[in-house]
Amino acid sequence: MLQVRDLTVEVGGKVRVDRASFVLHAGDTVGLVGRNGAGKTSMLKVLAGEAPASGGTVLRPPALGYLPQNPRPRGSGVDATGLSHVLSGRGLDSAMLRIEKLRLRVEEQPDERTVAKFARAEEEFRDAGGYRAESEVRTIAAGLGLGNDRLDLPLTALSGGERRRVELARILFAGSEALLLDEPTNHLDLDAKDWLMGFLRSYRGALLVISHDLELLDSAITRVLHLDEGELIEYKGTYSQYQVAREADEERRARLAKRQDAEITRLSRLADSMRGQTEKRAKTAKAFDTRVARLERERVIGPQRARRVAVRFPDPPRPGRVVLEADGLTKGYGGPNVFEDVTFAVERGERMLVLGLNGAGKTSLMRILAGQTEPDSGTWSFGHGVSAGYYAQEHEGIVGGRSVMDHLKTTGLPEAQLRTLLGTFGLTGDVAHQDAGTLSGGEKTKLALAQLVTGRHNLLLLDEPTNNLDPPSRDAIGDALSAWPGAIVLVSHDTDFVASLEPQRVLMMPDGEVDYFSEDVLDLVALA
């Protein structure tokens, strides 16, 4: 059970959650919804104990699983592999190592004390499910799209999406009484999403989830918590029922707010008309002022009209005919090569989709092209007059401790122009001077894309640019890029986004085969 009483959360000096209270019981599946930047991620961090609350109390169960938007696997198990890390969720990696050490000691010194110590440790390990644990881990990992060959690799050899799956597998394997999941379907292909949703539907603990895929959990959701302007409103029922109830609630609140505004205006005018007249009228005016003050305190804020995101990428400088060439690129991480002998070229204004299953090397290739890592062999080069901008799926260019504005000032553009740019991405007001490390995943995505806009690039390397974005922002970014005349190399599992960009060719990984794009390819995008 998770109990929350009068919780207040502040980010960058602004109240994101104001005195919220709710309880999660075993069997509850609760969706936390709200626009990008409303404070959902910040609230989840506080609930998980990862950040302090500004007020109120949170009572957590002893076993709590928390998946942040961009998890960095903590610890690495005893041998630094994905398998060992997942086993560490129940301490079974270290238990296995201890039993092995005791077994070797028994072989060297088979006295009664050593044998008894080994027997006790072995019994505890068996009772904890240690002998079936590896099979259970591999089943969970396979459901999330991580094969045995990937699970046995060191964490450092896995892509960002794979490390996220490993951390999710660790949380699911640990057997928590409550789960707090922030965008758990990011980086998951269609099969892995279906598997995860099936797992969560059968989960017996308390679940609180932030996701743009809540429709997939619709039938399992028991409540929805809607966060906006610091206010947390609870709706009972499925996600579909919440959508209907929220629409009716917004209409009711809009009517009430309109009536309150009219009454405040009427009383204020009456009070103003009576001031400076007779003593009796002055007293009446003061009484009206008191009523206005009370109405102001009890004022209902009508539903905020969704901010329209209208993004425009500036026309790029004209490069040479060929903007990017790669010849024989090969990359591995100590084991079998992730990909080898990948050769392709991208021409001016062309859009190329990089497609492949998780672990096929898509992100590794993008990091090579962005100059973040080196290939084991092969060469690549930009064409004449090419300026490349790189969007990393894990927001590697967003640095904590630096403000949002500081991330853009390196361009040399006037601050007023940069504020206007941030505003087009929905990053308004005090957000400009907020620590970029405290932004939500959706806000970090918008900031990273704003950085690309200021760069005057003519080649964009985009690795899952729509992760964490709400639908209006995702559509706006897609529209802006579809109208942009520069060249794009894209990794994405977002079918609608890929369709809006209309790529001309597809690079299939890890084989490196290049083919023309067709509508049939869209069926593979969600599986990638």
Backbone angles phi, psi at 351, to 5 degrees: -115, 120
Residue 490 pLDDT: 95
Predicted pLDDT at 302:
63
The DSSP annotation for 328-390 comes to: EEEEESSSSEEEEEEEEEEETT-EEEEE--TTSSHHHHHHHHTTSS--SEEEEEE-TT--EEE
pLDDT for the residue numbered 309:
61
User: Is the pLDDT reported for residue 248 higher than 80?
Assistant: yes
pLDDT for position 342: 96
Higher-pLDDT residue of 166, 114: 166
Nearest to 92 by CA among 138, 137, 125, 141: 125
pLDDT at 249: 80
Enter the pTM of the model. Answer: 0.67
pLDDT at 266: 84
Residue 366: pLDDT over 80: yes
Provide the CB-side half-sphere exposure for 232 (13 A, CA). 24
Q: Can you tell me the distance from the alpha carbon of 310 to that of 159, in angstroms, rounded to the nearest whole number?
A: 32
CATH 3.40.50.300, applies to 322-525:
yes
Q: 198, 224 in Cβ contact below 8 A?
A: no
- Round to whole Å and give the CA distance between 52 and 34: 21
Provide the pLDDT for residue 52.
92
Instruction: Answer yes or no: is pLDDT of 78 > 70.
Output: no
Q: For position 377, what pLDDT does the model report?
A: 95
Backbone φ and ψ of 243, nearest 5°: -60, -40
Task: Quote the CA–CA distance of 487 and 351 in Å, as a whole number.
Answer: 6
pLDDT attached to residue 416: 81
Confidence of residue 310 (pLDDT cuts 50, 70, 90): low
**Weakest-pLDDT range from 122-136, 166-180, 354-368, 451-465:** 122-136
Mean pLDDT of the chain: 85
Which one, of 326, 392, 344, 348, lies nearest residue 507 by Cα? 344
514-523 pLDDT per residue, tens: 999 988 888 7
Neighbours of 136 (CB within 10 A): 16
What would the DSSP string read from start to end of 93-121?
Answer: HHHHHHHHHHHHHHHH---HHHHHHHHHH
Q: Confidence class of residue 77 from pLDDT cuts 50, 70 and 90?
A: low
Comparing 344-348, 367-371, 451-455, 467-471, which segment has the lowest mean pLDDT?
467-471
Exposure string of 240-275, with b = 16+ CB inside 10 Å and e = fewer, is eebbebbeeeeeeeeeeeeebeeebeebbeebeebe
Per-residue confidence band for 73, with pLDDT thresholds at 50, 70 and 90 = low
Mean pLDDT of 260-282: 82
* Residue 90 per-residue DSSP state: G
pLDDT tens figures, 392-408: 877 777 888 888 888 88
Residue 339 CB contacts under 8 Å (≥ 6 apart), including other chains:
329, 330, 331, 360, 361, 364, 365, 509, 510, 511, 512
Is the model more confident about 19 or about 444?
19
Averaged pLDDT for residues 3-15: 88
Task: Specify the amino acid at residue 262.
Answer: A
- Cβ partners under 8 Å of residue 236, min gap 6: 222, 223
Domain locations along the chain: 75-173, 322-525
DSSP state of 32: E
